[in-house]
C-alpha cells in the first residue's frame, strides 16, 4: 500500500491539490474567526464555537471533499490511465490507495481547522478551562461525517468520467444538509442525508433565545448526543465503501 500511496503522491505533483485544499480550509477559517473578539465571545467562546461551527463545516467540508475527490480521480479519467493501471495492480487496491490519499488530505485539513480554532480560543483567553473532552468529541463529529461524504464523492468520481455528476450530486446533498440544519422541527430530514450529519451530531445548543430578549438571557448548553445515528453514519460509511469498491472492481474499462 505504501508503494501505491507513493504513486498517488507522484501523480499529484504540479497539479495544486494541496494548495486547493489549504485555500478552502483558509477561507473556512476566515469565515469562522474573522471579526472583533468582544466580551460575549470571550465569555461563551468555547461553547459558542461548538454551536456555530457545525453549520460552517456543513458548508465547507462537503465542498472540500467534492473538490479533492474530483481532482484526484479526474487525473485518471483525463489521461485514460485506468486501463493502464488496472493492468498493473488489483482494482480494489487502486480504489483504496486513492481513497486513503484523499482521506489523508481531508484529515490534515480538519485537524488544521480544529487546531487553529483551539489556538484562537487560547490566544484570546476564552473564559474557563479548555474543554478538551468536548473538543475531542467535536473533532470526531466533524471528521466522521466528512470521511463518509468523501467516500461517497470518491466513489462517484471514480465511477463516472464526467465529474459534473459527482459535483451535481454533491451540491444537491450539501444544500439539503445546510437547509436541514435550519429546520430543527424536521429531524428526519437531516438524518436522511449524509450532509445533514454535521447537524445531527451537534451537541451544543442555544437556549433562552427569544425574539424579544434576543441574546440577553441566552446561553449555550450541552444537548444529548445522538449515538444511535452516529452508529448509523458509520455503518453508512462502511456500506458506501463496500458498494463503491465492488462497483469499481466490476467496472469494465
Partner 1 sequence: MKEIVKTNGLTKKYGENLCVNNLNMTVTDTSIYGFLGPNGAGKSTTLKMLLGLVHPTKGEIDIFEKRVTDKNRISILKDIGSLIESPSYYGHLTAKENLKICQTLLDVPSSNIDEVLKIVRLDKQQSKKVSAFSLGMKQRLGLAYALLSFPKLLILDEPTNGLDPAGIHEMRELIRSLPQKYGMTVIVSSHLLSEIDQLADNIGIIANGKMMYQGTLSNLHDTDPSKTLEEIFLDLTGKEQSL
Question: Which chain residues interact with partner 1 by CB under 8 A?
Answer: 3-4, 6-7, 10-11, 13-15, 75, 78-81, 83-90, 250, 252-253
Minimum gap (Å) between residue 230 Cβ and partner 1 = 36
Minimum gap (Å) between residue 77 Cβ and partner 1 = 11
Minimum gap (Å) between residue 89 Cβ and partner 1 = 6
Distance CA 205, CA 202 (A): 8
Is the CB of 4 or the CB of 147 nearer to partner 1? 4
Contact 102, 72 (CB under 8 A): yes
CB atoms within 10 A of CB 54: 23
Contact 134, 46 (CB under 8 A): yes
Distance CA 234, CA 240 (A): 10
Minimum gap (Å) between residue 125 Cβ and partner 1 = 46
Is the CB of 41 or the CB of 86 nearer to partner 1? 86
Minimum gap (Å) between residue 82 Cβ and partner 1 = 8
Is the CB of 80 or the CB of 140 nearer to partner 1? 80
Distance CA 218, CA 44 (A): 10
Minimum gap (Å) between residue 28 Cβ and partner 1 = 27
Is the CB of 85 or the CB of 204 nearer to partner 1? 85
Distance CA 236, CA 242 (A): 10
Is the CB of 190 or the CB of 245 nearer to partner 1? 245
Is the CB of 209 or the CB of 246 nearer to partner 1? 246
As a three-state string, the secondary structure of 83-117 is: HHHCCCCCHHHHHHHHHHHHHHHHHHHHHHHHHHH
Within the chain, residue ranges assigned H as helices are 2-11, 17-33, 39-78, 82-85, 91-123, 132-159, 163-181, 187-192, 197-200, 227-250
DSSP code of residue 161? S
Is the CB of 93 or the CB of 191 nearer to partner 1? 93
Closest CA to 52 of 240, 205, 166: 205
Distance CA 193, CA 210 (A): 30
Minimum gap (Å) between residue 109 Cβ and partner 1 = 22
Amino acid at each position: 500500500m505504501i508503494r501505491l500511496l507513493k504513486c498517488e503522491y507522484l501523480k499529484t505533483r504540479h497539479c495544486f491539490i494541496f494548495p486547493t485544499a489549504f485555500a478552502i480550509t483558509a477561507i473556512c477559517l476566515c469565515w469562522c474567526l474573522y471579526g472583533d473578539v468582544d466580551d460575549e465571545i470571550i465569555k461563551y467562546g468555547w461553547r459558542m464555537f461548538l454551536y456555530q461551527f457545525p453549520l460552517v463545516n456543513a458548508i465547507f467540508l462537503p465542498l472540500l471533499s467534492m473538490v479533492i475527490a474530483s481532482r484526484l480521480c479526474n487525473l485518471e479519467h483525463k489521461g485514460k490511465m485506468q486501463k493502464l493501471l488496472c493492468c498493473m495492480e488489483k482494482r480494489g487496491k487502486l480504489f483504496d490507495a486513492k481513497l486513503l490519499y484523499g482521506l489523508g488530505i481531508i484529515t490534515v485539513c480538519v485537524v488544521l481547522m480544529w487546531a487553529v480554532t483551539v489556538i484562537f480560543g487560547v490566544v484570546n483567553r476564552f473564559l474557563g478551562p479548555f474543554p478538551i473532552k468536548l473538543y475531542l468529541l467535536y473533532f470526531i463529529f466533524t471528521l466522521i461525517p466528512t470521511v463518509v461524504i468523501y467516500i461517497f464523492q470518491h466513489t462517484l468520481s471514480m465511477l463516472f468520467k464526467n465529474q459534473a455528476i459527482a459535483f451535481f450530486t454533491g451540491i444537491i446533498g450539501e444544500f439539503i444538509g445546510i437547509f436541514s440544519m435550519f429546520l430543527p422541527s424536521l429531524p428526519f430530514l437531516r438524518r436522511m442525508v449524509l450532509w445533514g450529519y454535521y447537524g445531527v451530531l451537534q451537541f451544543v445548543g442555544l437556549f433562552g433565545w427569544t425574539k424579544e430578549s434576543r441574546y440577553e438571557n441566552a446561553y449555550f448548553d450541552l444537548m444529548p448526543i445522538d449515538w444511535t445515528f452516529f452508529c448509523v453514519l458509520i455503518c453508512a460509511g462502511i456500506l458506501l465503501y463496500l458498494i463503491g469498491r465492488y462497483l469499481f472492481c466490476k467496472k469494465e474499462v
